[in-house]
Every structure is written in C-alpha cells, then in structure tokens.
Structure 1
Amino acid sequence: MTTILIVGAGPVGLTLAAELARYGIGVRLIDRSPRATETSKALVVWSRTLELLDRMGCTRGFLEAGLRAHGASIRSGATVLGRPRFDDIASAYDFALMIPQRDTERLLADHLRSFGVAVEREVELVGFTQADDRVEARLRHADGREERVATPWLIGCDGAHSTVRHGLGVAFGGATQGDDWLLADVRLEGAEAPPPDEIATYLHRDGPLVVFPIPGGRARIVATRGRTDPAQRRPDPTLADVQALVDRRAGGGFRVADPVWLTNFRINERKVDAYRRGRVFLAGDAAHIHSPAGGQGMNTGMQDAINLAWKLAMVERGQAAATLLDSYSPERTAVGDMVLRNAGRLTDMATLAHPAAQAARNLALRVLLGLHAVRERMATTMSEIEIAYADSPLSRGPGAGARWDPQQDAGPPPGSGREPLFVLYAADPARGAALAARFPALLEPAPRTPPDGSILVVRPDGYVGLSAAGEAWDEAERYLHALAAVPG
C-alpha cells in the first residue's frame, strides 16, 4: 500500500489523515512537537464544519464537549447596538460550538486512532524533492536518526511557519498589522458579565474588547493594546491589565479571575497564490492566515482538508482521473481569498481610530442590526454554510457548486461511507440506476430522489457538481465520463 505523508498534526492534519484513513488510504501523520496543543487557541467550530464532521462520523463527541453559543452582541459601553442570532442559520447546527483547540485535537486524534493510525511525534520533515511519480522526503527523529521515505503525495498542514511551504519556495504574500492584541482565558464574575452563550464585542474609542464563552464556565477576552516597536516584545499581560481594559471598554460591572492563559499576539494576513505544486499540497495555516475576527481560521483549514481528502482518495483508489486534483487549489484559493477579505473588514471596522468614524460606525450598526435580513446575513456568513464553488472546474449547470443542504435529504450524507462516491439524484430511478451501473467507481449504485425533476450529481463533500434538466442524461454521462479514471 502506498502511504501519503502529512506534515503537521493540528486540526487540519488530523482531519485530513482521518478522512484518508476512513477511505482506506495509507497515511503517515508526523509532527515535530513532542505533544499535542495544551492551550485553548482556536475556539469555535461553525455550522458547516459540523455538517462535514457528520460525514466523518465524529460530530457527537464535539457536541458533548462543546458549549453552544446561540448569538452575539455588539455593544458600545452599556448600550447594545445589536444582537445577531445564530438561530437564523439554515442548518441543523444553528449555533457556534465553542470548544478549545486542545479538545478539538483530542477528539480528532481519537477518531484517527479508530482507523489504526496514530500521530508520529518528534518526527520532523527536513527536506524533500519531487519526481514525476513521487516525493522523496527526509525525516529526522528525536534521537537524530534520519529516514528517507517515498510518498505519492506530500501535504503541508504545518502552520504559518510551514517547512513544506518554505521547501516549495512559494511566496506567503501579505502583511503583519501593527497593533498588539491581548488574549486572556479567565473566569468572569459579576451580574453584568455577558451571557455565557453569547459572543460579546465591546466597541470603544481605544479599540475593541471581545468576550468569547468557553466550556467549563470560563471565557476568553481579546482586546487591542496599541502599538509598540515591532522589534520589541511587549511583556505578557497581567490579570490587572485585563481588568483595567474590561473596566474601561466594557464599563466595568464584572471582574476577571483565575487566569489560565495570558499572552500577546499580532494579526498576520497572508496567503499563498496556489495551494498545489506538483505532488505537494498546502492546507490550513500553511496556505493562509488571517485575522481571528469571525473565528474562521481553523474551520477554513479543516474544510481545506476535507476538500482534498476525498479527491486524493478517489485518485489513489483508481476511481477518478488524476485531473480531479486540479480542482483543489482553485476551489480553496477562492475561499481563502473570501475569508481573508471578510476577516480583514471586520477587524478594520472594529479598530477604527477617528472619533467621527467611530460614531458613524456605531450609528450604522445600530440601524443595520435592527434589520432581520442583516442579522441573518451576518450569521450565515460566519457559519460558512454559504461557501460555494460556482467557478470550480467540477461545477456544471445552474446552481452547481452550491452546498447540498443535508436537511433536504432523507438518506445518509453523501461521502459518509467508507469509500468516496458521488450521489446521483434523478426522478427516473431506472435510468438513474443504469447510469450508476456504467460508472460504479464514481456513483452510489442507487439513485436518490431529487427535490424537483432535475438531475443532480452531488460530490462526496456535499456540494452540487452537476445540475441539469430532468432529461439531460447525455449531459450527466459526459460529466461523469470526464471524471472517470476508466470512462464508462
């Protein structure tokens, strides 16, 4: 069995490894760190990611470990400018699941072990070269021993300082913002603390302060601290520093206590131009990093991994042509651009410095957030259920590339089996079964009933690949013929 090599065992690498293992593909997942993440780091799993975890078969553990945030508030001191509600999200998971990254990694590692695969720790990628049919990689173990391995595909899920990206020599274009930010994981005490199922943003003339709920009665506070010389490192904040910011920007009324993590950070906004070079792929922070506003980073990376996994599996299993992999970079690059743009806009809005601009912003927010349509749009964007691949080389027909709503299908989610297969939806079950029989490596054998009279082909990751008229059987056949490793 050939073995795909994944570098980096954070949430992205774990997701990719688990999906490949579920599909029966040999995989090695290495990480130079001696242990998994021990801090909370990324905190939120959004609706679309939870839907995709359903396909993986591990949503239940996340729901049991996480806290459901049902909305957000945007405030100016004691004044609430608006309260977007996540109940408006058109998903069975109409909430933000607050869960520390250490628990996300633990749950994904447990899921990976259920397929007989464990993370190889203190193993470092030190170099690689590409050939036409493989990648030759050099690995270094904790005892200094070096190992040379050949892999058909190398995937860098190794974060913002990615060894894989550096090895490819690709530019990581973008910039570092000048402001220092404070992060504090604490307990909140006092009657005026924000509700424990709400993400609260306090806008202030000195900069924003945001409170995120965390399971176990804790909360995270994030706030700007102003600028320092980039060459200097600001001392880590103290609990008194955090309390002073809360008193000034949130109007006091609650206290912070029992800190478990106090640190500073700066926001980077960077992205590669393409997520693939030959037989090497990039995913997650190795390909894109951006403002934490909106909590999109980890979710976007995990969705990179899910997008890539079924394509690699179908090619490695001989189910689909190698050209299927050409769709990964354009699809996920477009999503990365969108997330970078949206997160940057949110950060820019929250950090306006001019008093007149701040006053205009607050007035506009108060008016706009009074409109249900605006609140619904905010919730939908944050949930990532509106992500679509309309311009993908895999999308054909009106509405192609859109998310297939799991709630409109009585059957199991596409892609939830032990092999990646497209799902055919056709009003004529006999002709649908005949088409599926001609492409058994691509399609589930039994067609499903479409919501209307059209022919639909839904991808293993739950997006519409083909949308065609109910009698356009030739079009459906051409679409599948182009995907097939051995045309039907």
Structure 2
Amino acid sequence: MGPILIVGAGPVGLTLAAELARYGIDVRLIDQSPHATETSKALVVWSRTLELMDRMGCSQGFLEAGLRAHGASMRSGTAVLGLTQFDDIASAYNFALMLPQRDTERLLTSHLASFGVSVERQVTLTHFAEGATHVEAQLSHADGREETVTTPWLLGCDGAHSTVRHGLTLDFHGSAQGDDWMLADVRLEGEGAPPPDQIATYLHRDGPFVIFPIPGGRARVVATVGKTDLAHPRPDPTLADVQAMVDSRTGGGFRVHDPVWLSNFRINERKVSDYSRGRVFLAGDAAHVHSPAGGQGMNTGMQDAFNLSWKLAMVMRGQAKAGLLGSYSPERSAVGEIVLRNASRLTDLGTLSNPTAQAFRNLALRFLLGLHAVRDKMASTLSEIEIGYAKSPLSSGPHAGDRLPPDLYDGAAPGAGPAPLFVLYAADTEEGSALAAQFPALLEAKPRQPPDPDRLLIVRPDGYIGLSADAEAWNDAKRYLEQWAMVKR
C-alpha cells in the first residue's frame, strides 16, 4: 500500500505532511496549482500555533521572518475606544506574529523538505473510493497522465471548494455574508497612521475599516464597501478608492501608496458537521470557513493538522488502536463551532448599520475595554491558548482537555520527539516508571514532576491534559491507557 495521500499544499496540508513525516510516516502531498501562494492572504500566526510549532522544530524561522504586533485597538475616527495589549497572554509568544501567507508556505515547504518530502504540483484528485482497509484515488497529471493510487488514509486539506469534501457528499452548512469587502496591501505614510506594531479597527457608521501591519513596512487594509448585485461583480478597488476610505472612516492624517495587491472579497461562514468519514479526513478550509475577523482561520486549520497528525501517526506506527482517530472530529468540530461563532460576532459588531446601535456599541466598547479582565479575555481568545477539549473522549477528570502551559512541561515539549507519546506527570516516580513499563508504546519512559504533587496527569502529545486524577489513582491511569493501547496489559 502507498503512503498517506494529502490533497492540498496550503499551510494546513504542509503542516500535516511535515508532522507525519517527522513521526516517520510516509506521505504524499499533491496540489493542483502550478505554484505556491504568491499573495499575503492569511496574515496572523497566533500564540498557540507558535507553541505547537516548537514541537515541529520550525518556530525560529517564523519568528525571524515575522513582525510582532503587541496590541489591537478599537477606534472611532481619531479617538481610541480601547486597547487590548497582547503582552499579558500566558505564553512565551505573547504577541501576534504578522507574516504573509506566501512566507508561511515558503517556510513550511522548506521544513517539509528537511524530511525528504516535496509538493507534487499540477496533480489533481479526480475521484476516490473507500474500501475496508484503504482508499483508492484517481489522480490526473498536467501532462495528461492518469494515475491510480492506493492509500491507507486520504486527507483533504484542499480548501473551501474541496474535492475531497464533495466526494464525501458532506453538506457545507452556512451562508455568505451580505457585504462586499475591499482589500489592499499598501504602505502608510503620515502621523495619523496607527502604530506599526498594532492591529487597528476603526468603527464607522458606513462600516469598519481595519489595518493590519505586515513585515517590510507594509500594511493590509480591509473595509466593507456595501452590497453588490452578484450578476455584476464590483471592479477591484483603485488606490484612490482606498485613500477615500482612509479619509472618510479613520479621520485621515495619513495616506496610502505603493500598492501590491488590490482586490474585493466576500465573507462565507460555513462548516461541515463531521470532519471525517471512514478513512477520509478533512482539515482547514475544507471543513470550515469563516470571517477573517480575529485572524483565526489559518491558525484553526493548522491546529486541525496538529491534532490529526499525532493520532494518525500513533495508529500507523502500531502504538494505538484506530479508535483513537474517533476523537479528531468531535474535538476539532467543537473548536470550529467556537471560532465560527466568535468571528461571526466580531463581524456583526463591526458592521452594525443602525445609528443608535452603533452609538451604544461604541459606548459599551469604551467601558468594557477599560476593564482588565475583558482585555485579558479578548487576548487569550484571539491567541487560541484557551482552546481545550473538555468534552473529548480523550478527556477524563477535572481540567482534562485543558492546555498544559508550556512553562509547566518539566522538560521538552510533549510530542517534540521522533515518536508521539503521552507523558505521565506523577510525584511517585517508582510507581510511574512501572506504569510506563506496562505501556511503552504509549507513554514516555520516565515520568515527570507534576505541577501539583497531589495530582497525577497524563498529557497528550499535543500538550493537552488527557487524564487528571488524584496522585494515587494508578488504576484510573491504567484504565485510561488501556482504552487506546493495542494490547491490554
């Protein structure tokens, strides 16, 4: 049987391929496009994604290439309604790393190449059929050659118009948001421009105007431009259109120049109910698309890939039962729902059209963003460090499903080694070592010291708590591991 087949070489497919390859799993990554993304597209890499990149071994390249944004402001004209600082995010990466998607893909492609894997371009998945032990896929090459491949698992990371999703006949529930949006990558000049390390959102009666900093002295601006008859698409904006929007919605004081990308787009908010069916899985935009508000889309997709990769690797390596994969869809679907809802709320808040509602919104924001707890909550939500899996079939006990903060790891990050392993945190190292000896394929051999000596923790390879129990609950720990072990001890 051939390698695992991954369809789609954007950030999600690249992450998934690199993680599986790091764990020693044979993969094949195809993409129908002749080249990688050439525009900025997704711009933000958030804290939790950077933490997970530490396991991959590639975070340093991203940090060197990106621009660190330290806060996000809400504004009305020249007045600042409130400022959320990212400095208090409970992570070593307490900032938003601004990096154009073309650079994200370039860095991930280079990382993937370090495992001897390259992207096969102008290769299109045309059809697939699932069997009991494999998936048979039909591929079409640019030179007209047709190929039939057999793969143990088919992974669809092929975007909003996913061929894999269509092949599964899964409904993509949701709708298109009514407004057209303008997008421009430009340079800003003038004292009225927001600080170059800040995401600035201007709330205006005609709609929001948002500025995202980009490395190299550039900025992305986006704004609503009203509704358009779909039969007569709106032409791409000109630089004069962008400047007019700056003058009308920000209070002016700065000008835009040197554009490299001017475009229009519409927001779709859609999601599948199940991220997997049999031997076929979906990740990223193939499973969920939503408003770019908050910059969560690419991060959520890459975290889909992190979640799936260690589980698939454990199954492929014979470390765990195939049933482990059953946790992927409920875990990531629940996260997708939250991200979709939050992004939709942010978009709705920014696009209020009633003048009374707009005035109330501005007053409420000025008050709420004056509260430290509200600012902290906003920062932790955006950074995705508060994402958890409390209701997962892998979670048992108080705080199970929570992210274990990296400063409590007591050693290398779980999952950073050549094999995905659960990590036992227990004060009784003798008893802990004996348990690890019973489950050598699942558990790291040496237990680590727990943050609380009265608790016993089993932490997943992605750094989330699987089991949380009393320090002496060794039978609970054994039963937990027996659920996933290939052979019960």
TM-score, normalised relative to structure 1: 0.99
User: Aligned-pair distance for 1:486?
Assistant: 1.6
Gaps of 5+ in 2: none
Could you tell me which residue of structure 1 aligns to residue 462 of structure 2?
Answer: 461
CA distance in 1, matches of 2:367, 2:478: 51
User: Aligned-pair distance for 1:2?
Assistant: 4.4
Q: Give a deviation string over 1:239-261, Cα, whole Å, max 9, x none.
A: 00000000000011000000000
Could you tell me which residue of structure 2 aligns to residue 435 of structure 1?
Answer: 435
Matched position secondary structure for 1:84: strand
Could you tell me which residue of structure 2 aligns to residue 406 of structure 1?
Answer: 406
Q: Which amino acid in 1 is paired with 2:240?
A: A
Q: Which amino acid in 1 is paired with 2:358?
A: Q
Q: Give a deviation string over 1:433-466, Cα, whole Å, max 9, x none.
A: 0100100000110000001121100000110000
User: Aligned-pair distance for 1:232?
Assistant: 2.0
Could you tell me which residue of structure 1 aligns to residue 336 of structure 2?
Answer: 336
Alignment of 1:35-434 (within 5 A): 35-434=35-434
User: Aligned-pair distance for 1:487?
Assistant: 1.8
Gaps of 5+ in 1: none
- Conserved in 1, the CA contact under 8 Å of 2:2 and 2:149? no
CA distance in 2, matches of 1:128, 1:370: 54
- Conserved in 2, the CA contact under 8 Å of 1:178 and 1:230? no
User: Aligned-pair distance for 1:409?
Assistant: 2.2
CA distance in 2, matches of 1:276, 1:199: 35
TM-score, normalised relative to structure 2: 0.99
Could you tell me which residue of structure 2 aligns to residue 29 of structure 1?
Answer: 29
Q: Give a deviation string over 1:257-296, Cα, whole Å, max 9, x none.
A: 0000000000000000000011000000000000000000
CA distance in 2, matches of 1:304, 1:487: 29
Q: When the two structures are aligned, how many residues end up with a matched partner?
A: 488
Q: Give a deviation string over 1:313-338, Cα, whole Å, max 9, x none.
A: 00000000000000000000000000
Q: Which amino acid in 1 is paired with 2:308?
A: L
CA distance in 1, matches of 2:308, 2:476: 26
CA distance in 2, matches of 1:61, 1:382: 22
Q: Which amino acid in 1 is paired with 2:259?
A: P
Could you tell me which residue of structure 2 aligns to residue 482 of structure 1?
Answer: 483
CA distance in 2, matches of 1:231, 1:170: 28
Divergent runs of 4+, >3 A: none
Matched position secondary structure for 2:105: helix
User: Aligned-pair distance for 1:88?
Assistant: 1.6
- Conserved in 1, the CA contact under 8 Å of 2:182 and 2:237? yes
Could you tell me which residue of structure 1 aligns to residue 11 of structure 2?
Answer: 11
CA distance in 1, matches of 2:409, 2:306: 20
Give me the identity figure in percent.
75
CA distance in 2, matches of 1:177, 1:469: 49
User: Aligned-pair distance for 1:230?
Assistant: 2.1
Q: Which amino acid in 1 is paired with 2:86?
A: F
